[in-house]
Structure 1
Amino acid sequence: MSFNKSKILSKAIDPVGIIIGSVVILTWLFCLFYLLNWQIDYSNIITYLFIFVQTHLYTGLFITAHDAMHGTVSKQKNINSFFGRLTAFLFAFNFYDYLLRKHHMHHNHVASHDDPDYHESGKFWLWYWNFIKSYITIKQLILITVSLQLLKLVFPLENLLLFWVLPSILSTFQLFYFGTYIPHRNDAHNNNQHKSGTLQKNHLWAFLSCYFFGYHYEHHDAPGIPWWRLWQTK
């Protein structure tokens, strides 16, 4: 590739990763608290804009956890793991160590029978269903159910469903479609070493769609580069 990997990797371990991860977490928390107290008006287009924003922030939580899986949030292992565990848990009570094992299976066996993110049918809904099943656990569903029952004692149930539950579900579609399905969906990518496709260059759309992870070949080629520098590899 034409970019200087060593230069970008050296930057990937600076404190900026901690700052960006913190901004994602705090923005998500602030927006969630605000929206759980917001007066819902379905005739107001801002309601739907808020759902989009909260979905994108949920995706940001998962992307931060993903970066931690590659050790790029912080060069300090304990701090990196803290961010990974926190953001994974905030994203619908996922468990970091479980996700870590699954994700590295994906990188080691991309687009193969041993890849937990891949489905050979290539059919969107069947693939998505298998993708979700491989990550959701009973413990996770119990925690979501109990938390919803407790939170509705404090916040309106309608707000919880609209701004806490729904965006987390929509975010799984965003992550799956742009980060898994599109990059690995057909055999046309099998002629490259990472069996991965990539978005055409448009940095704004790449960020809005999935924090630059549409640049998927580039991620597989240099997994030690955090999401906020991934555009530089394009």
Structure 2
Amino acid sequence: MIHASAIVDPAAKLAEGVSVGPWSMIGPEVEIGPGTIIEPHVVVRGPTRIGANNHIYQFSSIGEATPDLKYANEPTRLVIGDHNVIREGVTIHRGTVQDRSETTIGNHNLIMAYAHVGHDSVLGDHTILVNNTALAGHVHVGDWAILSGYTLVHQFCKIGAHAFSGMGTAIGKDVPAYVTVSGSPAEAKTINTEGLRRRGFSAESISQLRRAFKIVYRQGLTLDLAMQRLESMRQEAPEVQLLIDSIRASERGIVR
């Protein structure tokens, strides 16, 4: 399962069933879980832990040290979960001690060609980063979020669960859960209705979320007053809680 031309450091730990293609390099302090496939010409540096049944395609650089000028070769890490697909030319950097000391990728994510995940970023589960999406350092992306091609996300931004960005979006503030944004700079457009339908949200739930979106974005309210009205919706529309939580967690301010 390990090609003769691959370079695997003796200190690396590869579980049973790991496949490493020709001319790939696996460094020390790397752990790779069972069933993971490393295609040709991949570089994996440590400390990095990769879970089970991932598929990493050619020319990707996984676990490299960040170019952040604050980084002074401290022993930071990258942790990748299970069942992720990382396509051609993806770059994922380890963390820095100034933040979490760890970059974290969850489970069942699709990171498409030439995307970049910067230091200390966190991806949840079931996210999609489309080709050439770039996350600066310290970015958090919630479960089921989709960032379309050439989306750029500024450092320390948070992308809420089920959010969606249009092609070429430049995100400089936090995107609340469920919200679709587009443009440069990003502007909130609507609720991610199609994505919610695909994930089994009922018509009633989507209707309530559209109502919540209008409270925040279409009624000219201050954010404090909008939040009060969202709070009043929670009993009849519990799915609004995720939207409330994502707005309250914002430190940069939300896209408006």
Q: TM-score, normalised by structure 2?
A: 0.25
Higher helix share: 1
Higher strand share: 2
